[in-house]
Structure formats: C-alpha cells, structure tokens
Amino acid sequence: MCPPASEGARHRVEQDLPPSRESNAARVEQSRLALRRADLFRQQAFVGGAWVSADEVIRVVNPATGGLLGTVPRLSQPQVIEAVAAAEGARSAWSRRPAAARASVLRRWYELVTTHADDLSRILTAEQGKPLAEARAEITYAASFIEWFAEEARRVYGESIPAPAANRRITVLRQPVGVVAAITPWNFPAAMLTRKLAPALAVGCTVVLKPSELTPFSALALAALAEEAGLPVGTLSVVTGDPAPVGEVLTGDPRIRKFTFTGSTAVGKRLAARCMDTVKRVSLELGGNAPFIVFDDADLEAAVEGALISKFRNTGQTCVCANRILVHEAVREEFARRLVERVATLVTGDGLAGVTDLGPLINAAAMTKVRGHVEDAIGRGARLLWGGHPLDRPGNFHEPTVLTDVTPAARLFREETFGPVAGVVGFFDEAEAIALANDTRAGLAAYLYTKDLSRATLVSEALEYGMVGVNTGLVSTAVAPFGGIKESGLGREGARQGLDDYLDTKMVCTEVGVG
Ligand code: SIN
C-alpha cells in the first residue's frame, strides 16, 4: 500500500528554505537531470490543452538528496473543474474518430516515449529515487502499455445474440464510458499512468489525470509527448494539486463516468465510496501483502534470485513486492544464508550519481514505517541477519534488511511494509503454507517455488490472489491482466481485459418487419 501522499507533503514543509536559496537549490537539482530535451521537465499543469500555473505551488523533493527538484501548480477546484469540462467537450469527437485513427495517435505517442526514454528515465529517478536502470525499465514498461492498447483499439468487438423471436435482432455494442478520472501513485510515476491512459484513450474516452504530488514531473513529461503526438485538446488533462480538493472534484463531478485509482487500500475505499453518489464505474488497484513460498523441493538458487527481484524491486515499494517469505523448515536456514549473501552485494545510493541496485524510500513517513516493522519483528523474536538500520546520509535511505524467525503476529507479516525488508517465516507442510499465505485481507500477488508440477498447479489454485508467479518473482507485463481480489482491488489493467473497465455494454433489441 502506498502511504498517503499528504505525509510526504508534511515532511517537505519541515524542509522549507528562503525563496532565493530554494531556487538555487532547485537549479542544482535540475542541472543534474542533464536532459537532451529540457522542455520535457514541465513545472506547469496541463488543462484543456493549455499549460497553466496557479496562485500557489507544491514543492517536489528528490528523495535521494532531500533537495528541492521543482514546483508544480497547486490547482484550485475551479481549475480542476475546467479540466473536466474540457474532457467532456472533447469526448464526442474523440469517441467518434475511427479506432484506427485513435490507434495511430497512440502509436505516435509510444514512439515519442521510446525516443525520449533516457530523458524520461532521468526525470523519473530524480523525483522517485529508483535506480536509473530500473527507471529505464519502467519507461519501457510504460511504453509497452501504449503500444499494446494502440493495437487493441482496433479489436473492440461487440456481439450478435440469436434472438428468441423471428422478428427480433439483438446486438451488443461496446461503447466508451465517457470522461475518466484517474489518480496515480508515486511508486511508478510513468507506468501506472499509461496502464490507465492508454486503454481509456484507445477506446475513445477522455481523461483527467491527477498524478501523485510527490512525483508529478513524469506525468507532465508524458503529457507533453502526448500533445506532441497529436492528442486533441481536452482529451487529456494533467491536474496537479492537493489530494483532498482535487479528489473531491474527481469523485464528485457527475460528468465523470469512470474513476480509476492506484494507491493505498484505505484511501481507495474512501474514494470509491464517494464515487457511489454519482454511481461511477470504479476500478481500484490497492495494496498487497504478497506471500513468497519456497517449498523444500525448490531450486534454491532460482528462489533466492526470484526473492531478490520480487522483494527489492523499487526498494521494496511495489504493491506486488514479496512481503512475507514463507520457507519450508527443511531449507529455511540455507535459503536465508544464500539470501543474505546476495543482499550483501546490493548497492544503495542516488540513482543519478552512480550505478545502484536500491534507491531511497519516498519520504520520512516511509522510513518510520520500515523502522517500525523491523523493530516490531525483532521485539517479537525475529533474528536480524542483515542490515536493519537507516543509512546515515542525506535522503531517505534504509539498509536492505533480512530477518528470519518472523512470526505471523508481526506487523511485517500482517501489513504491507513497502520497504527493503525481507522477513522469512518457516512452515512445515503445504497446507500450512497455503493457510499462512491466505491469512490476509489482501489478494494481489503471490509467488511459489517448487519443481513439482502438481504442487505448482494445486497451490496456485488454492492461493486467494489475483496473480500467481510460479518459479518467478516478476509477473508484470502489458499483455497479462494485472489486478487483485479481496481488498486488493476491482478490475484488471493491461491485457485484453484492460479495455473492459473503460467500456459500457449496450444491448440493442430491434424489431424487424418479417412475416
Ligand atoms: C504496483 O506496484 O502498483 C505495480 C507494480 C507492477 O506493475 O509491477
């Protein structure tokens, strides 16, 4: 679960500097971006085809240095309403364009994102903190959603149903829902946008997007490239601002017919409830608490590599990160020893300053949560095998950490840590592993390692999760449906299914003049 962004905003106020020192600090941070296309770093919002400012700004900090990276407008509610009006105004013309014409705009956008991937990666690392190689991978991942949905735009098929009477015809149309509001998180400032924007635009919806105020610059750069690709005025707006007032408009305005959110479970539930006043379609991608199960017949080397990818991707800040590493008692000590050996090689640091494996956490609140989880687990009898402490340097850095003997009562087991802490829990048999894995209200991703095909099949079926990785620690791809069950969300993103949430089903029953 991504911590609420307002916690980050509070952290920033503590770091306020006088205006002149502040703009010098921002110049230093911005010069480190070293962009080929400096105009991709935008400090204005994009409303109805215009780049706009506001009376107040939100300050955005590089989590690796604590330095001010830049500012974005704190839009007022009337400015957000203007974006909704622009989306409503653009809706009809965009939805009536042939699918192939919409697809070719998306295709141009994909090509521009790919061409400017280096610049986009540097902006992403500066605002979010992930290592540059990971930011590059995220831009590729983000672009893959645009490419995929540009192709899928041409395949929005309806149905013809045999009618119960000779003089009737029944057809089923699939039509765009209309104006979409999207709120996206800070942990994937590019890919979580395109995963929503691309299917919405592909089927003919228009979108008002609010990116996280912690990481707005990737969204604005992507919007600049979408504009360059020829997306018509009003089709996409990017509104920057505080979560509460912007969220109030996006969940309340009756012209918005669909609301899509990726972020924390607590915030998602509140926003979804508000959407019911105007009965909007809702999709939610919320927090996980992923079990990573290693059976005693697993290839241990592969399992350790999978755990590294799954646990430490984005410094542990993904909703699909392994959160509880469940290992059969027969191999637990050996697995933990090998995991520590690999974790000891990970390099933590500022992704713009050198080659790194791990970056900073997003803010002070995230550091507090991670420390709380480590201390709580140790307090309940866990053994610290590696790391365990914040790093004494600027930015929000925490050592990659390995604990074993973690008990199911620990916060590490019960809550999503969203940080670089691997907690190993032992089990004795398959039934216990499944029971431990399912002992949560979350149901996003789960992983299992075994060489036994029947076990892999049966355990996958028994796991109460929307996604299961078998002998792999990474399941995410544009071509597969991503999403959770239980309290992890509603709807699917990516794949053929990713279009469904942006389409209404309309049945047309026609009486024809036969005999
Ligand atoms: C997420 O953490 O929300 C998304 C991760 C992914 O797409 O792999």
CA of 102 to the centre of ligand 1 (A): 26
Q: How far apart are CA 247 and CA 359, in angstroms?
A: 29
Query: Nearest residue CA, atom 3 of ligand 1?
Result: 319
- pLDDT at position 25 is 83
CA of 68 to the centre of ligand 1 (A): 26
Whether ligand 1 lies within 6 angstroms of the CB of 284 is answered as: no
Residue 383 parent element (H or E) = strand 383-386
Q: How far apart are CA 450 and CA 300, in angstroms?
A: 9
Whether ligand 1 lies within 6 angstroms of the CB of 318 is answered as: yes
In the structure encoding, which two tokens stand for residue 445, read together?
Answer: 């991703």
Q: How far apart are CA 140 and CA 118, in angstroms?
A: 10
* Residue 400 in this model has a pLDDT that exceeds 80: yes
DSSP states along 57-70 = EEEEE-TTT--EEE
Closest approach atom of ligand 1 to CA 317: 2
- pLDDT at position 513 is 87
- pLDDT at position 515 is 58
CA of 286 to the centre of ligand 1 (A): 10
Choose the residue to mutate in 318, 416, 477 for probing ligand 1, maximizing ligand atoms within 8 Å of C-beta.
318
Instruction: Tell me what the mean pLDDT of segment 213-223 comes to.
Output: 98
In the structure encoding, which two tokens stand for residue 512, read together?
Answer: 């024809």
Closest approach atom of ligand 1 to CA 319: 2
Query: Nearest residue CA, atom 7 of ligand 1?
Result: 476
Instruction: Tell me what the mean pLDDT of segment 416-421 comes to.
Output: 98
- pLDDT at position 19 is 65
Whether ligand 1 lies within 6 angstroms of the CB of 194 is answered as: no
Instruction: Tell me what the mean pLDDT of segment 30-36 comes to.
Output: 95
Choose the residue to mutate in 187, 264, 474 for probing ligand 1, maximizing ligand atoms within 8 Å of C-beta.
187
Contact present, 428 and 436 (Cβ < 8 Å): no
**Tell me: the pLDDT tens digits for 465-514?**
999 999 999 999 999 999 999 999 999 999 999 999 999 999 999 999 87
Contact present, 237 and 86 (Cβ < 8 Å): yes
In the structure encoding, which two tokens stand for residue 201, read together?
Answer: 């635009």
Burial class (CB in 10 A: 0-12, 13-18, 19+), 75: buried
**Tell me: the pLDDT tens digits for 257-308?**
999 999 999 999 999 999 999 999 999 999 999 999 999 999 999 999 999 9
CA of 380 to the centre of ligand 1 (A): 30
- pLDDT at position 18 is 60
* Residue 7 in this model has a pLDDT that exceeds 70: no
Choose the residue to mutate in 476, 479, 493 for probing ligand 1, maximizing ligand atoms within 8 Å of C-beta.
476
Beta 57-61 vs 68-73: how paired, if at all? Answer: antiparallel
- pLDDT at position 22 is 77
Instruction: Tell me what the mean pLDDT of segment 111-118 comes to.
Output: 98
Indicate the average pLDDT of the chain. 95
144 band by pLDDT with thresholds 50, 70 and 90: very high
Whether ligand 1 lies within 6 angstroms of the CB of 262 is answered as: yes
CA of 319 to the centre of ligand 1 (A): 6
Whether ligand 1 lies within 6 angstroms of the CB of 481 is answered as: no
Is 321 among the residues known to form the active site?
A: no
Is 275 among the residues known to form the active site?
A: no
Instruction: Tell me what the mean pLDDT of segment 175-187 comes to.
Output: 98
Residue 52 parent element (H or E) = strand 50-52
CA of 477 to the centre of ligand 1 (A): 10
Of 460, 416, 457, 283, give the one whose Cα is nearest residue 2: 416
Choose the residue to mutate in 320, 447, 475, 488 for probing ligand 1, maximizing ligand atoms within 8 Å of C-beta.
320
CA of 317 to the centre of ligand 1 (A): 9
The number of beta carbons lying within 10 Å of the beta carbon of residue 47 is 25
Whether ligand 1 lies within 6 angstroms of the CB of 320 is answered as: yes
Whether ligand 1 lies within 6 angstroms of the CB of 440 is answered as: no
Q: How far apart are CA 186 and CA 211, in angstroms?
A: 8
Helix axes 265-275, 243-252, angle to 10 degrees: 40
Instruction: Tell me what the mean pLDDT of segment 199-212 comes to.
Output: 98
Alpha helices, DSSP H, located in 77-216: 77-96, 99-115, 117-128, 132-152, 191-203
15 band by pLDDT with thresholds 50, 70 and 90: very low
* Residue 17 in this model has a pLDDT that exceeds 90: no
Catalytic residue among 2, 205, 275, 319: 319
More confident position, 214 or 20: 214
**What percentage of the chain reaches a pLDDT higher than 90?**
94
Amino acid identity, position 328: H
Contact present, 48 and 57 (Cβ < 8 Å): no
